[in-house]
Amino acid sequence: MSSMSMQSCLSSGIRTFHLSSPRAVLYPKASQSTFEKAIKAKNRIAVVDFYADWCGPCHQLAPVLERFTSEPHTSGSGLPLDLVKIDTSSDDGQLLGALYKVRALPTVIAFRNGSPITHFVGTKNEAGVQEFLNKL
């Protein structure tokens, strides 16, 4: 194909590509730098799950959170939801847990534009998680 015909093809709009960010992102065992990047993302809600492997209620809550923060689910405000999982047994997790005053597990904090907007402590059933996400 000549450069002239390729240029006319491009300018005619025959084929266009549109790149968009994913609707939902899961950050398992996130580091402090990943956490900071995720909570500061514009036009997204970061749902941060502080957990530990030894925590039974954390294991009950995890699949519910994962299901309700994956596509096509969005927050009550229509923003995409990202799930950031922080292992409080890790060095970064201990630092972040102290910074956000995590005193019991599981603790879930929702962030928008780098700021915490709401949270809950303990496990919730599917209806409780859906209600929490609808308020975001």
Has 55 been annotated as catalytic?
Answer: yes
Q: How far apart are alpha carbons 125 and 77 in whole angstroms?
A: 21
Query: What is the rounded distance in angstroms from the CA atom of residue 18 to the CA atom of residue 22?
Result: 12
**Token reading at 86:** 């922080």
Q: Tell me, yes or no, if 9 is annotated catalytic.
A: no
**Which residue of the set 39, 46, 55, 108 is catalytic?**
55
Question: Of the residues 38, 45, 58, 133, which is catalytic?
Answer: 58
Question: Which residue reads 């993302």 in tokens?
Answer: 41
Q: Which residues are catalytic?
A: 55, 58
